[in-house]
Amino acid sequence: MTAPERSRLARERLSRELRRLRTEAKMTGTATARATGMSQSKLSKIENGMLLPSVTDVERLVAELSASRETRIELVELARSLHAEAETRRVVLHRGAHRHQQTITRVEARAATSRFFQVNLVPALLQSEAYLRIVLGTMPQSEQEAAVAALRIRRSRMDDLAKQFVFLLSEGALRWRMGSAELMAEQVEHLAAIQRRPNVRLGVVPWSADANVVALHGFHIYDERVVTVSVLTGNATITDPLDVREYLALFGRLERLAVRGEELQALLKRIAEDHRRLG
């Protein structure tokens, strides 16, 4: 049984038990709602599984309906665990690059292994200074400086050889023109230098790969705890364990498509030459 199914059954059980207690107490919905300080509509939604009651709601209901001590403890704990589970499934959207950099700096500081996949952009930790300035170019100058400062702190952690950094890019990410031909060629050559670090693993999924994998967007994974996804209006942080495992599985499939070593060096050289040739 999957976690969502277990959660659904637990919610159904909570609503069913609360309805049973009210029936056995021979109290109407109106009287119970009035006695516990909630509307009849809210109580009806709780009893029909349409609304997850707060822990306080459950405490008031089991007390008013004269539930046994054992039942009180059981249902209150059930409500508490359901709310804890709901909290882990949240996707939190952060607005603003500087705030996002600060959040990711804290996450990366704790992570032993950081994984990055990008479809049409070089990951921030691998960006050359010129490429970075192009990416941040639409921001006010003050925000740019704050974002650059936060990124420098993140990059300094790559000097910690106890931490592992795994980068996957599509070939399209390296061919997507973010600036001049020379800037792009230098960015590609910058990657070739960075991948020589002992704690950095770089792979590129070439255009020629028979992918059969749908990757709708880029994403970052920190250990097996947190996933971040950049969207147009901000950056989403995902912490639900099931969702994180889905991203880990996708990363594994993409990683098997990537080229490395001498094959990667040859590909990077060819892309840099293409940028310069096409001008």
- The domains found in the chain, sorted by start residue, are 3-89 (1.10.260.40), 92-277 (3.30.870.10)
Q: What is the pLDDT of residue 170?
A: 97
Q: What is the pLDDT of residue 183?
A: 96
Q: 66 by DSSP, 3-state: which?
A: coil
Cα(221)–Cα(224) distance, integer angstroms: 7
Report which residue type is found at 88.
Answer: T
Strand (E) or helix (H) holding 237: strand 234-238
Please check whether residue 103 is in contact with residue 144, taking contact to mean a CB–CB distance below 8 angstroms: no
Cα 230 off chain centre by? 9
Please check whether residue 21 is in contact with residue 13, taking contact to mean a CB–CB distance below 8 angstroms: no
Cα(7)–Cα(78) distance, integer angstroms: 10
Q: 234 by DSSP, 3-state: which?
A: strand
Q: What is the pLDDT of residue 100?
A: 61
> Mean pLDDT of residues grouped by 10 in the chain (279 residues)?
73 94 95 94 93 93 94 94 71 58 77 95 92 84 80 87 96 95 95 92 95 91 91 79 90 96 95 93
Nearest Cα to 178, choosing from 139, 119, 219, 135?
135
pTM, to two decimals: 0.66
Cα(100)–Cα(98) distance, integer angstroms: 5
Cα(111)–Cα(115) distance, integer angstroms: 10
